A and B are shown apart, each in its own frame.
With several copies, the nearest count.
Chain A
Amino acid sequence: MANFDIERKDNGDVTILHANGYLDAHTAPEFENALSTLIQEKRFKIVVSLEGLQYISSAGLGVFMGFIEEVRQNAGDIKISEVSPRVFKVFDLLGFPSLYEFYDSKQAAMEKFK
């Protein structure tokens, strides 16, 4: 079982989700739940920090895709921060940088919501 966990930190109207470990088809539902909870709470300004993420498969990328439309329709966004080069490569191979904003720090990502 891949180890994976999500930590949530609310900062005003922005929420930071720290995704740590291995995000694959087995752990993607956990990430999905975390995002789903935010949507239910109408918190649409989301930064996902991938500093602690060691691995991502397409099941993980799929979770990002599953929420982005609704989030943007509600004047929010999912911004991604601190992704490691090897994990970024997977996003990049599939063209995600044209749809998502990537930042070097949580702060920089949060600023953009101001």
Chain B
Amino acid sequence: MPGKKPHTLPEKKNSYRLKLPADSANLDIIRKFIAGIAENMGFSEEDIYQIELAVDEACANVIKHAYIGENTREKEIHVRVKTRAKKIEITIADRGIGFNPNSIKTPNMEEYLKRMKPGGLGLHLIKTLMDKVSFRINPGVRNEVKMSKSLVK
């Protein structure tokens, strides 16, 4: 039948969720959580380090930028991880002010280093370290950075 997907065994899918206060003291907890899942999936140490770093950057952004000027709402980071046999997909979400991912251009590193000023590296690192990165912004409701990486054995 044309267009019919090949019949394959169902992939093992799993889902993990973590919600915690948007506080930099919790970055370590988030990294360990992610590292544990990636380790169980069989990612290499090198890959685990890179996944931890990408997630750290996205969470550090939530802590630093998402809840500026907000005092009423609970300042939380939501981490959702979906695993398949060969792929990890991680979503970092907040309910803060949001941002326009398209307006944030990839820093020209040469320019950047000439300016010698800190900042603006997080999203660039995430895009460099992960296979795929996408955004869904809904200020005050849910702002998501979704990233995935495949396991190449």
Interface residues of A (CB under 8 A from B): 1-2, 22, 24-26, 55, 57-59, 61-63, 65-66, 68-69, 86, 90, 93-96, 98-99
Contact = CB atoms under 8 A, between A and B. Distances in A.
A77 to B, nearest CB: 13
A52 B53 CA distance: 18
Interface stretch (B68-76, B93-101, B109-117): B109-117
Contact of A69 (B27, B116, B121): B116
Interface string B19-62: 00000110110010000100110000110010011001100100
B10 interface: no
A86 B125 contact: no
Contacts of B2: none
B63 A25 contact: yes
Interface residues of B, number: 32
| Majority secondary structure of chain A interface residues (helix, strand, loop or mixed) | helix
B32 to A, nearest CB: 10
| Majority secondary structure of chain B interface residues (helix, strand, loop or mixed) | helix
A2 B63 CA distance: 16
A1 B60 contact: no
B6 interface: no
Contacts of B118: 61-63, 65-66
10 contacts: A1-B36, A2-B27, A25-B24, A25-B56, A26-B25, A26-B28, A58-B60, A62-B118, A65-B118, A96-B113
B105 to A, nearest CB: 15
Contacts of B109: 94-95
B128 interface: yes
